[in-house]
Amino acid sequence: MALRKLLTLSRRPLLVSGRFASTAAVSALANPAADAPSLAKPPVMHYDRLAEAVRSKIKRLDDPDPRFLRYASPHPTLADHTPILAAPETRVTTLPNGLRISTESTLASRTATVGVWIDAGSRFETDETNGTAHFLEHMIFKGTESRTVRQLEEEIENMGGHLNAYTSREQTTYYAKVLDKDVPKALEILADILQNSCFDEKRIERERDVILREMEEVEGQTEEVIFDHLHATAFQYTPLGRTILGPAQNIKTITKEHLKNYISTHYTAPRMVISAAGAVKHEDIVDQVKKLFANLSNDPTTASQLVAKEPAIFTGSEVRIIDDDIPLAQFAVAFSGASWIDPDSIALMVMQSMLGSWNKNTGSGKHMGSELSQRIAINEIAESMMAFNTNYKDTGLFGVYAIAKPDCLDDLAYAIMSEISKLSYRVSEADVTRARNQLKSSLQLHIDGTSPVAEDIGRQILTYGRRIPVAELFARIDAVDASTVKRVANRFIFDQDVAIAAMGPIQGLPDYNWFRRHTYLLRY
């Protein structure tokens, strides 16, 4: 009776769970004993249906349709690289004067690469002589006491060989790629140019203009400029912050004495490695080197001792160059990284692979393994992105370099810092497994050929003191798991200072304090 009276007196429609009651619902209320089980069942709310939909999608990912698994699986498995681990032996011989000779013989090859890797670069210069190492790289091919420039070039051309050199911040390299029968001749030419170069004054004056033109070309390469500025601000007031080419004023004032003094000081036997790969025999290379490289300095001072006197100190700072004439903005954000011999350097290589790289001109992106690449590709907030990990003798740089339109900088910076900071908190084993597979494959693809193998041997002998076998390197990579990534990220990334270099229309790029705040996440 009470319910009927209530329905009679009320002129407003009855609401049940926020909706107008149906006739059945009113009947149920009028006679609760008739349909007791239906009243006990709670109503299905909208957010309950959303949660159920998400759970079903996750279930489909965890247990996909078996028809598609023969083509691809969403779950990465650790790749087995056992068949390719049987690499040729790397043999090393150290002469009494400290000169090291390292070779890797491939009998099936008909070509060979032989070169000299020197533990010297722009880092070992002063402010007054900055640029000498690169200048010397140019002058070393300009004739010796027994060969003119023409004779030197004709000998290489007649062999059908390739003679090249490059200078970095910590190393200088001279190498030649030739046929197997021309290896002794190539080694003799390398010994001649390194020990008997005559620096003609006219050649020096002519080479100044060449290097100044090269500097103008480098200034047009935006990536090179950004990384030079990044080093300059991250390692300010230290030798590692100087550029490789040096300032234009130094190029105009470098003399013959500077070049000779640099050779006598840094081109010493203990700081040099003769590396050869391909169709070579270790014993033959050792016998030739003993005869050809007899005039090298025996100064026992090592590059590590010089670095200890002037260590590279990372400074959290930034440099911004606003230029509205450039259509795209570019910036690099970096943390202090690991040295070559730091045990965590391998984990940083895996983390670099996890962040990945992406370019708008490529078709991939939205379905890549890197979550950072996915976010950038789906939201179209960048033209390109690249994670980098650079190692030096006592430090390193780890970060991300990106190019974007001016109105996307805010969103892009948020995506980059969010994904970098997330490495300290949430890392899945699937992402780490995928990154390890990619890293191991890229390392193997990088040393495909005699020149990359010789370069890998020379660099590792200088940095590690030995050639790390591929099996050992892969074992070190496989030892990196999600917990290792989080530990290393907490060491290098969590609440650490950053260095930023930016150029172009960068008014929309967040300030330094914003980047510094986003090196950690506030979790309650």
The residues assigned a catalytic role are 137, 207
Q: How many CA atoms lie within 13 A of 73 on its CB side?
A: 11
What phi-psi label fits residue 41: left (phi over 0), alpha (psi between -120 and 50 degrees) or beta?
beta
**Can you tell me which residue has the tokens 């172009």?**
504
Q: How far is CA 154 from CA 13, 50, 143, 204, 485, in A?
A: 102, 75, 12, 21, 53
Calpha distance 24→443 (Å, rounded) = 71
345 and 385 in contact (C-beta within 8 Å)? no
Q: Angle 203-188-169 (CA atoms, 0-180°, nearest 5)?
A: 60
- 332 three-state secondary structure: strand
Q: Which of 134, 127, 200 is nearest to 167 (CA)?
A: 134
Q: Report CA 147 to chain centroid distance, whole Å.
A: 40
Q: Which ranges of 423-467 would DSSP assign to H, the alpha helix? A: 429-446, 450-464
Q: How far is CA 88 from CA 431, 446, 457, in A?
A: 32, 16, 12
DSSP per position, 464-520: HSSPPPHHHHHHHHHT--HHHHHHHHHHHTTT---EEEEEES-TTS--HHHHHHTTS
Calpha distance 186→132 (Å, rounded) = 25
